[in-house]
Amino acid sequence: MPLQNISKILQHWYHENKRELPWRDIADPYRIWISEIILQQTRVVQGMSYYLRFVERFPDVISLAKADEDEVLKYWQGLGYYSRARNLHKTAQIIAKTYNGIFPKNHSDILQLKGIGEYTAAAISSFAYNQPYAVVDGNVFRVLSRIYGIETPIDSNVGKKKFTLLAQTILDKKEPANHNQAIMEFGALQCVPAQPICDACPLKAICKAFSLNLVDKLPIKATKTKVRERFFNYFYIEFENKIFIQKRTEKDIWQNLYELPLLESEITFEATEIADNEIFKNIKELEISSSTPTFKHILSHQRIFARFFTVRISNKNEFLNHLLEIKKEELDNFAVSRLTSLFLEKNR
Ligand code: SF4
């Protein structure tokens, strides 16, 4: 089948089946950018409310650039992968300064921006400006590997080059926005990872994976994600009507978010070990009022085992000076990780 026909079939399917989404059929590069960054690691259903709240509070580059990073992170709270929000904020400031707040139009200028890789640059260039750049995301890898029966691992350098070239070759250069939307939506709704709807697929007759019975084998990934296990002991320290929090400034998960005082260890602590710990040394009256069971919190590359200890103290020591002392009701002003917010929701 001629290559253009595959694109036409996908676009026809898209026209009949596409979901109505708030970032669809708009040409505002700022909003397209925000939606693409949110959707990178988030499902559409979850991302929708975040997108709507985000663009309502920060409707354009300038409003985002002028905002405080803590506020931007607060609007991102619960979405995970917080470097996305930090990069959005920094990039908005760069666009405000370098481009007078007007989103650049040139593909190579877009690609230079922090947090914008090949995929996002192609999405913005095609959706906002109808420029002929093919998107290659997880959906596109899957759809192409199946239709063409490609067994090259999608996470290898050779695979990435091969799929990028193929995606660009089959791109409808006259309708790049429609084409890109179509192939991604097709991957999201029809040619899904498990149990794709092959019986009712308009490409069934030419799909190599279908005819060779390779549908559940493709795409192929060469490497397995390594998962690191970590053990977090959090302390909800109550002093009069106050508690203590800290900002995670290290280059690590949840950078620049706030959290309760944390001790990371080889295993999670037992309640009996707390009084001996550095943080609580020299505190005369210390009452460990409760501790949670161990929570298992799964991130893409890490598995966190966390316990929360509620501790009441009636005097402070210098260790606590390094922490931020706040009133309990002020906690809502700080962006925290999903793990911390799960604990706080139940225990305040
Ligand atoms: S036949 Fe199945 S595997 Fe092939 S493109 Fe259609 S949905 Fe995907």
Does the annotation mark 36 as catalytic?
yes
**What CATH number should be reported for the domain whose range is 3-217?**
1.10.340.30
Q: Where in the chain is the domain with CATH 1.10.340.30?
A: 3-217
How many angstroms is it from 14 CA to the middle of ligand 1? Answer: 15
As a whole number of angstroms, the distance between CA 198 and CA 191 comes to: 7
Tens digits of residue pLDDT in 152-205: 999 999 999 999 999 999 999 999 999 999 999 999 999 999 999 999 999 999
In CATH terms, the superfamily for domain 228-347 is Nucleoside Triphosphate Pyrophosphohydrolase (3.90.79.10)
Average pLDDT, the chain: 92
Long-range Cβ contact pairs of 289-298 (< 8 A, separation 24 or more): 292/343, 294/268, 295/339, 295/342, 295/343, 297/338, 297/339
247, with CB counted inside 10 A (0-12, 13-18, 19+), is middle
Pocket of ligand 1 contains residue 210 by CB under 6 Å: yes
Pocket of ligand 1 contains residue 124 by CB under 6 Å: no
| Annotated catalytic residue, options 36, 118, 229, 345 | 36
Report the amino acid identity of residue 259. E
Tens digits of residue pLDDT in 130-146: 999 999 999 999 999 99
Residue 118: CB atoms within 10 Å:
15
How many angstroms is it from 209 CA to the middle of ligand 1? Answer: 7
pTM, to two decimals: 0.82
Is-contact 332 258, C-beta < 8 A? Answer: no
Residue 309 has pLDDT above 70, yes or no: yes
Is-contact 121 137, C-beta < 8 A? Answer: no
Pocket of ligand 1 contains residue 190 by CB under 6 Å: yes
How many angstroms is it from 138 CA to the middle of ligand 1? Answer: 15
Tens digits of residue pLDDT in 217-274: 999 998 877 889 999 999 999 999 899 999 999 989 999 999 999 988 887 777 777 7
Pocket of ligand 1 contains residue 196 by CB under 6 Å: yes
Q: Which residue has the tokens 């002093």?
A: 239
CA atoms within 13 A on the CB side of 22: 18
Q: Where in the chain is the domain with CATH 3.90.79.10?
A: 228-347
